[in-house]
Chains A and B, each alone.
Chain A
Amino acid sequence: MTKPSLTPAQLSTLAAEMRAHGITELDLRLPGGDRIRLKAPAPAAPVATAAVPPATSTPPAPSAQTIAAPGPGRLMFTHPARTQPAACPGDRVAPGDIVAWLAVESLISPVTAPAAGTLGAALAEEGALLGYGSPVFALVPEAAPTGPNQMS
């Protein structure tokens, strides 16, 4: 006995809504445990403006990645109860560190660093309305996992 999942009509409505609102990826968890992921074909011009100049001095040059919005919301680098941003370009971050927030109505979600590294430039403006996967910060990951408390 499985609960009814989404009907083809509902799926196509969702796909149309995604196209209409420029949503590229949708991850739905339905009551009953079903999970549905819808992904739009990659756009011709990817968002990655990757303005990282070819680094000549650092030999292994770890590939830059981005910290992306985990969902839709209005971007806040500074928590509304504070006056200083959560993180700034150049800050070292650990996986799971909160680097910004997204507000939807009265709820605030965290934007977290996916890996250890150094924050690069902010890739969106304070107050911007972001969608799932929108880049928030550039992140230069740490070259290699170093041992605990190892000096480099």
Chain B
Amino acid sequence: MSAPFLEVLATPALNSVQDLGRPGQRRWGIGPTGMVDALALQVGNALLGNAPDAAGLELQLFPVRLRVLRDGAIALTGADCDARLDGRPVPPWWALPVRAGQVLELSPPGATRRDLAAPALRACLSVAGGIDVPEVLGSRATHVRCAFGGLEGRALRAGDVLDAGAAQAPAFRDPAGFGALPPATALPLGDDPEATTVRVIPAAEYPAFTDASHAAFWNDPWRVTIQSDRMGMRLEGTTPLKRAVVQEMRSHGIVCGVVQVPPGGHPIIQLNDGNTAGGYPKMGVVIDPDLWRLAQLPPRRLLRFQRCDLAQARAAALEQEDYLAGLRRLSALSLMTPEAA
């Protein structure tokens, strides 16, 4: 049983209902979409005791104002938006009870406070029970380009009313709520404080690139350009990546996180709304457990690639799963079951 839970009072474009995406449809040319920072959504869902893939709101542009229509619970994860609930500050990576009539306000990350420990781009709002919109092809994720999924296949706008799935919200032992150690703290990576580091497995065309390109790829910082969105991010470096022998390639299936190199030599990383096929040579693939790091990387920030193999990628995935499992276990202790409340 779901019921109206949130009303959108104000939002810029590009904010949408997302879940963990729509896998298995690539053969029809349908990409995964879903929350770019999928880890933020999973943390929010873990804090609230939701199913791991419950849908939430992906907020990329601000300010956003939402009115709570019914008593319940929310979690804010991802970018620190200096959130206020009826004017009272809500810490980042936080779950808390909300009451009907309260207004939640989120500001652009870093605009209202200067003490963010790391750059951040996208916030995730989870609600107890998950945002309830009809499933399309097995997912609630909005596919904006194809205009289906999510709320009427489009981005959010003022006046939208969102249903939540929980019949009964969890009760909090402390009305101030509780939170999660942010992934950047729990799962640190890289030793360059000026850059975000992600791990990459070399891809099929890696050997075709020159030695100088290999060296630049792993050793240079790459700047994220403003031509970056949910489809992908374009990078800029001092050494364009070149192949020793240039061969035309047929289009082939590509995945989220793939690092392609167009003729200009400046790499592109495909993200959740990216193409399902492409013909550019591939330098590597950012491992799944590090995609959330890309999700929080604003334009003009620096990115570094760290070489890794399949075993290290699996270890990283397990480390992330341990972090989430710990959160689920500990959150259950901070929430009272509806019977005991």
Contact = CB atoms under 8 A, between A and B. Distances in A.
Interface of A: 29, 31-33, 70, 79-84, 86, 96-98, 101, 103-110, 112
A130 to B, nearest CB: 15
19 contacts: A32-B340, A80-B182, A80-B184, A81-B117, A82-B116, A83-B117, A86-B91, A97-B88, A103-B181, A105-B181, A105-B330, A106-B323, A107-B181, A107-B331, A107-B334, A108-B179, A109-B174, A110-B91, A110-B177
B315 interface: no
Contact of A79 (B92, B326, B327): B92
A80 to B, nearest CB: 4
A81 B116 contact: yes
Given A81-B92, A82-B80, A109 B115 contact: no
A107 B178 CA distance: 7
Contact of A110 (B116, B176, B323, B326): B176
Contacts of A81: 80, 92-93, 116-118, 182, 184-185
CB-based closest 3 A-B pairs = A107-B330, A84-B115, A80-B185
Contacts of A107: 178-181, 326-327, 330-331, 334
Given A107-B330, A107-B331, A82 B117 contact: yes
B175 interface: yes
A98 B117 contact: no
Contact of B181 (A97, A98, A106, A110): A106
Nearest to B322: A106
B115 A106 contact: no
B178 A79 contact: no
Given A33-B339, A105-B181, A108-B91, 16 more contacts: A29-B340, A33-B340, A80-B184, A80-B185, A81-B80, A81-B93, A81-B117, A81-B185, A83-B116, A97-B88, A105-B330, A106-B180, A108-B178, A109-B174, A110-B174, A110-B176
Chain A interface mostly: loop
Contacts of B93: 81, 108
A108 B174 contact: no
Given A106-B326, A108-B181, A112-B174, A82 B92 contact: yes
A5 B184 CA distance: 42
A97 B92 CA distance: 15
Contact of B178 (A29, A31, A32, A110): A110
A96 B181 contact: no
B215 interface: no
A80 B117 contact: yes
Interface string B297-341: 000000000000000000000000001001100110010100110
B186 interface: yes
Interface residues of B, number: 32
B117 A106 contact: no
Contact of B327 (A83, A106, A110): A106
A85 to B, nearest CB: 9
Interface of B: 80, 88-89, 91-93, 113, 115-118, 174-182, 184-186, 323, 326-327, 330-331, 334, 336, 339-340
Contacts, number: 82
A108 B185 CA distance: 12
Scoring B117, B118, B175, B186 by chain A CB atoms within 10 A of each residue's CB, the highest score goes to: B117
Contacts of A82: 80, 92, 113, 115-117
B82 to A, nearest CB: 10
Contacts of B92: 79, 81-82
A96 B80 CA distance: 21
A64 to B, nearest CB: 22
A104 B180 CA distance: 10
A105 B180 CA distance: 9
Contacts of B180: 106-108
Contact of A104 (B89, B117, B184, B330): B330
Contacts of B174: 70, 109-110, 112
Contacts of B113: 82, 84
Contacts of A103: 181
Nearest to A96: B176
A80 B176 contact: no
Given A82-B80, A103-B181, A29 B176 contact: no
B181 A80 contact: yes
A73 to B, nearest CB: 11
A96 B176 CA distance: 7
A133 to B, nearest CB: 15
